[in-house]
Chain A
């Protein structure tokens, strides 16, 4: 029984390298970043094979290591660009009768990404739009998207409160959507 879940590092590469790489390409802005992260994931998996409990599948285990590495990537990026904060003005009137209602020129137009969606193109636009988020917001955003950490862990990472977490996600989603619309239409 104990041997049933034993790991076979020689098999990992064969079985999961392309899978992990595809996963990384989906979440990271460049081919190079994805290659680095996959290499780090394998090295870390080789080192910590002994910690594997066998209560999840090898694949799940490897993906969770990969996710942590992806978060690390954005964390490092955030540190590099700490000062590079671009401020985003919310697309709502901030006073007057229409306070907190959409500024018409910036309000979501009617479009759908389903019509003839070219995955590559849309994905590239998305990655570009993500790159415009303030670095700290990007870390928060990615951690929520990867769904690997609890809200408390995300908050601890960037020293914010849970209420603040939703404010950041709200701003980030407004900003990303607006950017995608500009590029896509």
Chain B
């Protein structure tokens, strides 16, 4: 009886709810998780498709937000070009050699 109670209490403490799980996913993207947090998150994700989707999609969004010109060229074959007019404007500001 008491074993069962203790066990349930322990599981309750270990199991994350979805608000906590998504918070850890965020922390994983923006910082890092310790081993205990990683394990708890993994356990939650095994049981929760919603949070799993949140993780996959937020990771993708993060990737696009952190896209560099190199990756843009490589993956999407795209670059942007600064208009010549603006380049000229900047050119006029180059300090003259003394």
Interface set of A (CB-CB < 8 Å, partner B): 9-10, 13, 17-23, 25-27, 34-35, 38-39, 42-43, 46, 49, 90, 92, 99-102, 107-114, 119, 122-123, 126, 144-145, 147, 151, 166, 169-170, 173-174, 176-177, 180-181
Contacts and interface: CB of A to CB of B under 8 A. Distances in A.
Contacts of B79: 18, 22
27 contacts: A9-B94, A9-B95, A13-B87, A13-B94, A20-B82, A22-B69, A22-B80, A23-B69, A38-B82, A39-B86, A42-B90, A43-B93, A49-B95, A92-B19, A100-B19, A100-B20, A108-B51, A108-B53, A111-B57, A112-B56, A112-B57, A113-B60, A119-B75, A126-B65, A147-B66, A151-B31, A177-B61
Given A21-B82, A100-B19, A177-B54, 14 more contacts: A9-B94, A23-B68, A23-B69, A35-B86, A39-B90, A101-B18, A108-B50, A108-B57, A110-B49, A119-B72, A119-B78, A147-B66, A166-B30, A173-B26
Nearest to A90: B19
Contacts of B82: 17-18, 20-21, 35, 38
- Secondary structure of the B contact surface, majority rule: helix
Nearest to A12: B94
B83 interface: yes
Contact of A26 (B57, B72, B95): B72
B86 A99 contact: no
- Give the top 4 A-B pairs by smallest Cβ distance, nearest first: A108-B53, A100-B17, A100-B19, A22-B69
A10 B57 contact: no
B27 A166 contact: yes
